[in-house]
């Protein structure tokens, strides 16, 4: 009996592109999740919060009023900057963005990190651009060294959630750059 080699080929491509990093970001395991919440049931927001490296992103989503949206049915693909990515912004940037009077700018930045639909790493690597929820497009480049979205590098890919997929990036994307 022969097996299809497509899944193996997809994994090989992902490994070659540096996309199949260990998924330490994954949603809570059966050991750490409540009985009602398993890995397959955690949405994008809960998956990111459980990872522990997206506190700034979670605070920004809350300030922008986007938590309920990303807890919705989706599907969504989120290019999620880590706390370290936010910390690399110029001093005071995050505090300024979190102010209520800057909500529109914050929403524009955060929605620039979200693509409608579910795009696993193999599909992202085959794309040149993707239109984000804010209407602008991000540039995508796949090389032997990995995948970049605008100037951010995908450091972990294919973190699945019940309503989409998260690709962890090492810098904050800014519309218009």
Q: What are residue 131's DSSP bridge partners?
A: 137
**pLDDT (average), residues 123-143:** 95
Q: Is the pTM of this model over 0.75?
A: yes
Dihedrals φ, ψ of 149, to 5°?
A: -120, 115
> How many other CB atoms sit within 10 Å of the CB of residue 146?
17
Looking at 2.60.120.330, 2.30.180.10, 1.20.1630.10, 1.10.8.60, the CATH number of the domain 6-169 comes to: 2.30.180.10
Higher-confidence residue: 36 or 157? 157
Write the pLDDT tens digit of every residue in 69-110.
Answer: 999 998 999 999 999 999 999 999 999 999 999 999 999 999
pLDDT at 106: 95
Residue 24 CA to residue 159 CA, distance in Å, equals: 9
pLDDT at 144: 84
| 162 has a pLDDT exceeding 90 | yes
Share of the chain above pLDDT 70, in %: 77
- What is the domain partition of the chain in residue ranges? 6-169
Residue 43 CA to residue 157 CA, distance in Å, equals: 16
pLDDT at 145: 82
pLDDT at 60: 94
- The pLDDT confidence band at residue 156, using thresholds 50, 70 and 90, is very high
Residues 70, 77, 82, 88: what is their CA dihedral angle, to the nearest 10 degrees?
-110
């Amino acid at each position: 009996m022969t097996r299809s080699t497509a899944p193996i080929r997809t994994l090989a491509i992902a490994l070659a592109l540096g996309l199949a990093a260990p998924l330490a970001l994954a949603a809570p395991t059966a050991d750490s999740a409540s009985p009602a919440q398993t890995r397959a049931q955690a949405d994008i927001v809960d998956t990111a919060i459980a990872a522990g490296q997206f506190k700034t992103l979670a605070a920004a989503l809350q300030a922008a009023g986007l938590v309920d949206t990303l807890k919705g049915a989706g599907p969504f693909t989120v290019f999620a900057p880590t706390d370290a990515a936010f910390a690399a912004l110029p001093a005071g940037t995050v505090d300024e963005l979190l102010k209520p009077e800057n909500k529109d700018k914050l929403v524009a930045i955060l929605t620039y990190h979200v693509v409608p639909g579910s795009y696993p790493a193999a599909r992202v690597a085959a794309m040149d651009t993707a239109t984000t929820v804010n209407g602008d497009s991000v540039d995508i480049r796949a090389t032997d060294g990995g995948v970049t979205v605008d100037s951010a590098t995908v450091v972990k890919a294919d973190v699945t959630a019940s309503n989409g997929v998260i690709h962890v990036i090492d810098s904050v994307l800014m519309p218009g750059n």
